[in-house]
Amino acid sequence: MKTKAIAYGGGSVLNAIATWKGSAFALNLPVEVIAEESEHLQAEGLLRFVYDVVKERCDLPPIKFEVRSSLPKAGGLKSSSAVANAATQALFKLCGLNVGPYQILKVSVEAAKRAKVTVTGAFDDASASLLGGLVITDNKEMIVEDKIPLNIKAVVLPKGGRGIDYKEIKVRLGVYKKEFQKVYELLKKGEVFEAMTINGLLVGAALGYNLEPITSALKAGALSASISGNGPSIVALVDDDKVEEVEETLKPFGDVLVTEVVNEPAYLR
């Protein structure tokens, strides 16, 4: 038997490491995971942890996985959350279980924690990846505080290979705890674009990234631009009439792709 499922990559509005409050949005950059019964278990890294967590909840045969993704690893575009979400859904389908989105998220976040590919569990990233739209979350309590549709284009500068370990990331971002709290307060007032840009400047300053792509995107007319996750990828949110200008501005910094925020839940596709 073979099953498959998708989840989305995404971008960040608020990094959750310093305060446990996070915000992210889904991008139309789907990741597909195919799970197929096999004579022997063929799963490494994060996928092995997803398999183990789902197997604690239902009787699974040995599985082999295939992942179809264009997202860079360790780049901040929610690749780990997307893989975990899609694999979790595919495995529950193999079990014949029709589970709700929160159960999928619980498994996905637990697997990410066990795999040590996250500091907080990345409930914000996982929620956006599965539910679509923009989410505001409390990662400690695993609560989605708000879900907001965004009908807007995104210009993405995808980069992988972060090169900073999570322990160091936690220490550096923690220095700006008060500032990240203020970003959360802005976000709760509905100032999404302003919050996202300030988040990017804080993350860039803390982790030592070049901020020139962010300032260049803003000068070219982007509504907001930010380091996504813990970087190094950058995402700018842009009105339709400014997409070409922002895209051209970012090309000197690397390959650029244009997509959009997707609001349809991945688990319904």
Averaged over 160-178, what is the pLDDT? Answer: 89
Looking at the structure of the chain, the number of domains it has is 2
User: Stretch 247-257: mean pLDDT, rounded?
Assistant: 97
Q: Do 168 and 225 have their domain in common?
A: yes
For residue 189, what pLDDT is reported? 97
Residues 110-135 have a mean pLDDT of 93
**pTM as predicted:** 0.95
- Looking at every residue in the chain, the average pLDDT score rounds to 95
268 within a domain of the structure (yes/no) = no
Per-residue pLDDT reduced to its tens digit, 209-229: 999 999 999 999 999 999 999
Domain check: are 178 and 128 in the same one?
A: no
Q: What is the CATH number of the domain that holds 214?
A: 3.30.70.890
DSSP character for 169?
Answer: H
- Residues 140 and 167 occupy one common structural domain: no
Containing structural domain, residue 212: 153-260
Confidence band, pLDDT 50/70/90 cuts, at residue 269: confident
Q: The CATH number of the domain where 68 resides is what?
A: 3.30.230.10
Residues 145, 159 within the same domain: no
CB-CB contact of 75 with 232 (8 Å): yes
pLDDT at position 159 is 87
Predicted local distance difference test score (pLDDT) of residue 118: 85
Q: Are 68 and 32 in contact (CB under 8 A)?
A: yes
Same domain, 70 and 188: no
Bridge partners (DSSP) of residue 37 are 63
Q: Is residue 13 part of a domain?
A: yes
Q: Is 87 within a domain?
A: yes
